[in-house]
Structure 1
Amino acid sequence: MSAIPEPPKILQQRLFYRGRKFNFDVNRLRLPNGAEGDWECIRHPGGSLGVPFTADGQLVLVRQYRFALQGRLLEFPAGTVEAGESPLSTIQREIEEETGYRAKQWQDLGRFPIAPGYSDEYIYAFLARDLEKLERPPAQDDDEDIEVVLMSPEEFEEKARSADIIDGKSIASYFLARPFLKG
């Protein structure tokens, strides 16, 4: 079930921070139930995530350093949707940059919010199949510290159960893709 839009009445808008990837604002609002107050929100253009699946039944993940958590996470390749870019073209670019693979088949798995309590960011999830390894993958972004990891769906599920995989967007996207995973 998707959320039915019920916009609040904006009584006062304030922008506190304009960043490279997101903005942060605090607004005085009147909610649909009549409550008034100040609410903070991270404004994000959205992200795209791919669940790359090889012909021999392996998932392609990345182990990526995440400064906010001060450690490396196992996750599916993903990236911020840039201005003028579609979510599909974002993940096509990101998979090539982060994994060195190119997918010939794409399936839209839908979208979902990441943290609706304080952000308007949605993740657009895609299943990427019919992968080919690129001879010359594009360079990774300077701020990325990434290792490519292959694993079976069974290994992925075990690592998610044991908390070796804790990335919520990757776990959610895997279960959206799961009915379509065939070797």
Structure 2
Amino acid sequence: MFNAEENPWQILSEQNVYDNKWINVTEYQVINPSGNPGIYGKVHFKNRAIGVLPLDADMNTYLVGQYRFVLNQYSWEMPEGGGPLNEEPIDAAKRELLEETGLKARNWTELQRMHLSNSVSDEFAIIYLATGLEQFEPEPEDTEQLITRKIAFDEVYNMVCNAKITDSMTVAAVLRTKLMLLEGTLPLQ
């Protein structure tokens, strides 16, 4: 009898195969759970993924459109970015919201913590709801060419349901927010 929560993988060796300021890739020689030799690759993220779903008093949210290099396609999503592991996640969220939309929020609620692709990476995300919004000038990074759209939350919810939005953090944030609305637990300030 085995304990299902114990690690069934045996690591024989590991080799660092790639490293930059954002990620590290390691290849492991392993014995897999059924006892056979194999390899496993792991992408380690050096930053925490941060997402912010801004919601104004009229139930509008703000989406950011940008071309995603890795996907080779355009994507509509909530403001997102990376927060250094030594930075408070809420501070990273405030910075990302201002950078991408020019918005500042008086009220912050943590919506969700999640792993983004636990089969090949350890990327971890924290998602916030931002309310009590005030508009300032956006401050995008030089790697960003963004378009910001103010859209009714219900329309964004329909975009998620119809797979027009596929970014996992945005999907999770919108579905969590919709559930909280239905339950009457969403802090609308």
Alignment correspondent of 1:56 = 58
State the alpha-carbon separation in 1 of the partners of residues 91 and 7 from structure 2.
30
Asked if 2 retains the 8 angstrom alpha-carbon contact of 1:57 and 1:182, the reply is no
The match for 2:108 among 106, 109, 113 is: 106
Q: Deviation per CA, 1:38-73, whole angstroms, max 9, x where unpaired?
A: 101111132011111112210111011111222221
1:110 Cα offset (Å): 2.5
CA distance 1:83–1:46, shift in 2 (3 Å): closer
Q: Deviation per CA, 1:94-153, whole angstroms, max 9, x where unpaired?
A: 00000100111111122111111111111111111111112x44x211110111111112
Map 1:7-26 → 2, pairs under 5 A:
8-26=9-27
Bigger CA radius of gyration: 2
State the alpha-carbon separation in 1 of the partners of residues 125 and 85 from structure 2.
15
Map 1:158-169 → 2, pairs under 5 A:
158-169=158-169
Asked if 1 retains the 8 angstrom alpha-carbon contact of 2:107 and 2:132, the reply is yes
Q: Which runs of 5+ in 1 are unaligned?
A: none
Q: In the alignment, residue 154 of structure 1 is paired with which amino acid?
A: D
CA distance 1:7–1:22, shift in 2 (3 Å): farther
Q: Which runs of 5+ in 2 are unaligned?
A: 181-185
1:36 Cα offset (Å): 4.2
Q: Deviation per CA, 1:131-181, whole angstroms, max 9, x where unpaired?
A: 1112x44x2111101111111121012212332212122111211222127
CA distance 1:50–1:148, shift in 2 (3 Å): same
Q: In the alignment, residue 155 of structure 1 is paired with which amino acid?
A: E
Asked if 1 retains the 8 angstrom alpha-carbon contact of 2:48 and 2:85, the reply is no
In the alignment, is residue 175 of structure 1 matched against residue 166 of structure 2?
Answer: no
Give the 3-state SS of the residue equivalent to 1:54 in structure 2: coil
State the alpha-carbon separation in 2 of the partners of residues 63 and 175 from structure 1.
19
- Work out the percentage of aligned pairs sharing the same amino acid: 27
Asked if 1 retains the 8 angstrom alpha-carbon contact of 2:106 and 2:131, the reply is yes
Asked if 1 retains the 8 angstrom alpha-carbon contact of 2:61 and 2:151, the reply is yes
State the alpha-carbon separation in 1 of the partners of residues 168 and 97 from structure 2.
19
State the alpha-carbon separation in 2 of the partners of residues 117 and 171 from structure 1.
19
Asked if 1 retains the 8 angstrom alpha-carbon contact of 2:65 and 2:148, the reply is yes
Q: In the alignment, residue 88 of structure 1 is paired with which amino acid?
A: I
Q: In the alignment, residue 94 of structure 1 is paired with which amino acid?
A: E
State the alpha-carbon separation in 2 of the partners of residues 66 and 75 from structure 1.
11
Aligned length: 178
The match for 1:116 among 99, 115, 118 is: 118
Scaled by the length of structure 1, the TM-score of the pair is: 0.87
Map 1:22-61 → 2, pairs under 5 A:
22-30=23-31, 34-44=35-45, 45-61=47-63
State the alpha-carbon separation in 2 of the partners of residues 133 and 100 from structure 1.
6
